[in-house]
Each structure stands twice: as C-alpha cells, then as structure tokens.
Structure 1
Amino acid sequence: MAPQYKLTYFNLRARGELTRFIFAAAGVQYDDNRIEFSEWPALKEKTPMGQMPLLEADGKVVCQSGAIARYMARETGLGGKSSWEEAQVDMFVCGVDDLITKLCDAHFASDEAVKEERTKALGPYVSKFLDNYEKLCGPEGHLVGTSLTYADLAFFVGMHDIWQHRADALEKYPKLAKVAETVRDNEGVAAYIAERPETNI
C-alpha cells in the first residue's frame, strides 16, 4: 500500500515548492495543506521544531525543507543513481537554497533601504550563480546524469522570480535553458503549474 503524504505550509512557493514539484514530477498523490498565517500560532507549538514546512508520512512527521525534499527525492527515485550523483544533486539543490534565501531576504525586508540594498545585490549574485551552474551542468538537459533529478526541479523553482523580471535570463546559458525545458515538459510538473495558486514568493 502506498504511503499517505501530507505537506503543510503557507500558501507560498518559498520553502515548500520544491517538495510540491517532486510530488508532481513523480506523479505521487499527496495532501497539499496550505494554511493561513492566522492559523500558524496555534499549530506552531505542535510541530517538532516550531517551523514549517511539515511532511506527514503515514502519521510520522518531519520538518526542515531540505530534509523533506531529500527524503521525497529518495522515495521517488529523483535523488540520483549513485552516491556520487546524490552528492552532486544535493550540491546543486543547496546552491538553489542559498539563492532562495537571498530572494526571500530581499522580499521580506521590513526596512525599505535594506530591501533596496538587498535587491540591488541580487543582480551580481544571480549572474555568478548562473555562470557556475552553466559551467557545471550536464549537456543533456539535466544538471546531473541523464535523467530527471530534484536538482533540475530545484533549479526551475529557484528561477521563478528571476524569470518574472527577466524572461530572457537563460539566453546566454544554453545548457541551463535545456534543463528548464526538460522540467517544463514534464507532464506532472506542467499540470501542477497550470493549477497552482498564484503567490508573490
């Protein structure tokens, strides 16, 4: 019998979207439990570490977005085909996590001057990020190996807000453009993107 999964997070992409993409790409059914900010204080004390997202698998609960995504990648065969591939995949995913942290830090800055400074610093950071990823990327439409991994999904998720401002962001990065095309062409991912709620981060 297939495990019963429930992912609990705010109605945001941010730290929950990669796991949603893994579920979508793998065609795995789950309960996408999106809660309101007003619901969080009552739930917080009942969570393992006082934070989200939360993954419930057959009644067992784990938190930390990275741990959740890695677990589901292993469970769905999207984590890499060898220990070395797994390490490479995790390297790319960790890099995207750094990117998302920078994007969130700029978006959620309460001080306008700080927000402006952080947003301005994103340009050089994103350029270096893309340069590195293009250099390390495989030639066949995948960051690692010859089949879809959650590194490809993470890269696509991380690019969302960049594409909002620069639709041609990958024009000078042919290998990465091919990765984005691979993810976009995945039937499960395409269906999820078409149906997901529009959120600002």
Structure 2
Amino acid sequence: MPQYRLVYFNIRARAETSRMIFADAGVEYEDVRVATEQWPAEKASGKYPFGQMPCLEIDGKFTLAQSRAIGRYLANEYGFAGKDNLEKAKVDMVIDVFEDIYVGVKNIIFEKDETKKVQIKAEFVVKADSILTALEKLLIANNGGNGFLVGDSVTWADFELFVRMEYAPLYDAAILDRYPKLKALVKRVSSIPEIAAWLTKRPKTEF
C-alpha cells in the first residue's frame, strides 16, 4: 500500500473530504498540519507544485496538488468515485457545484467588515438555497432520496456534502431544515462507523 502524507493547515476546509475518504477506507496516512506561521518557509521550499496546500505526498516520490485532484485520486483508488463512467461524471458534477459553496463560505469567514459580512451572508443564502434545491431533487431522483447522491453506495460527493454543510451555521444554521432528504443524508454519512470514529478523534478546528 502506498505511503501517504496529506499536508495542509490545521483546518478542515479543502482537505477534510480527503481525510474522510482515508477514514472510511481504513487507510493509514500522515495527517500533516502546517502552522500558519510556518507556511511562508514551507512555500519557499519549492516542494509544493503550485505553491499551495493541500498536497498529497505519495511514497515520498510525487506530490499531488489541488484538493479536487487529490480527492478524485483517492476516491478512484478506494472505491468512492462511482461504479462506472456515468456515475463518476455525476459525482464530479456534484463536487464541482460545491465549489460555489466553499468560496461563498470563505468570503464570509474572511470578511472583516461586519456590515459587509451581513450583506454577503444574505446574498450567499440565496445562492446556497439554489444549489441545495437542485441537490435535493438530484437525491430524490436517485431511488427516492433515501440513499446517496449518486448510485447505491457512498461516494466522495456525499462526504463533500457533509463537509460543506458543517459550515452552515456561519450563514444559516437552519438551512438544511428546508431540505429534509439532504439533512437525512448528512446524518447517514456521520453515522458510518468509520466516519463517526474520525469525527470523534479529529482535531477540533474553527473551520
């Protein structure tokens, strides 16, 4: 089995979906968390392909950059990418739409002006509702919505949903109440034994 080092800041953000893949697959890896003050020196080292994290070191020989490339690689390696090309395309579709959720939440977190933050939140809730409405329909279209977003087993799209919805209290803590099928799926994901174990032991971080 390959030796993995997943390198990122001590936050969930762009690395948590990959950490959940590792957890559910039962794959050992080194969860390297770089302190913010250490990052300038790390970045200057030249070992990060695009000068960004997260990165996944594989057998100490190759460093894979970009969070979605890392997640897609791990999902394909360990059976969370979809069972055929169409399922994989559907999973990728869901993963890609969650980028809008991630960017919106990031804008809220890093906005220092409280007046602007209120406005950004209000605008973002409209965007988030649009995305979640579409995802609720997608989930319901897949065997009535009582399983997973794509296919008949959990994929990294379901992990991504869980990770992004952890940030809902930052803009609308009750947003999932409007999407009962998605809310139930988030609970199902958190109840997977390997995921539940990870959620218990993972470092507690602000975001």
2:120 is equivalent to residue 118 of structure 1: yes
In the TM superposition, residue 114 of structure 1 has moved relative to its aligned partner by: 3.4
Q: What residue is the counterpart of 2:37 in the other structure? A: 38
The unaligned stretches of length 5 or more in structure 1 are: none
Deviations 1:5-51 (A, max 9, x none): 11000001111111111111111111000110111111113211100
- Within 5 A, what are the aligned runs for 1:2-13? 2-13=1-12
2:182 is equivalent to residue 176 of structure 1: yes
Q: What residue is the counterpart of 1:131 in the other structure? A: 133
Which moved further from structure 2: 170-179 or 12-21?
Answer: 170-179
Task: Identify which of 99, 116, 126 aligns with 1:97.
Answer: 99
Q: Is the 8 A contact 2:55 2:63 kept in 1?
A: yes
Aligned-partner SS, 1:48: coil
Task: Identify which of 183, 193, 196 aligns with 2:199.
Answer: 193
TM-score of the superposed pair, with normalisation by structure 2: 0.90
The unaligned stretches of length 5 or more in structure 2 are: none
The amino acid of 2:132's aligned partner reads: L
The amino acid of 1:176's aligned partner reads: L
Q: Is the 8 A contact 1:55 1:63 kept in 2?
A: yes
The amino acid of 1:133's aligned partner reads: L
**Per the alignment, do residues 180 and 129 of structure 1 end up closer, same or farther by CA in structure 2, a change over 3 Å counting?**
same
Q: What residue is the counterpart of 2:90 in the other structure? A: 88
Q: What residue is the counterpart of 1:63 in the other structure? A: 65
Q: Is the 8 A contact 1:4 1:30 kept in 2?
A: yes
2:158 is equivalent to residue 156 of structure 1: no
Aligned-partner SS, 2:117: helix
Q: Distance in 2 between matches of 1:121 and 1:198?
A: 29
Q: How many residues align?
A: 200
Q: Distance in 2 between matches of 1:166 and 1:118?
A: 12
In the TM superposition, residue 161 of structure 1 has moved relative to its aligned partner by: 1.2
Aligned-partner SS, 1:75: helix
Identity %, equivalent residues: 41
Which moved further from structure 2: 168-177 or 16-25?
Answer: 168-177
In the TM superposition, residue 198 of structure 1 has moved relative to its aligned partner by: 1.9
Q: Distance in 1 between matches of 2:56 and 2:76?
A: 14
Q: What residue is the counterpart of 1:109 in the other structure? A: 111
Aligned-partner SS, 1:69: helix
Q: Which runs of 4+ in 1 moved over 6 A?
A: none
Q: Distance in 1 between matches of 2:205 and 2:74?
A: 23
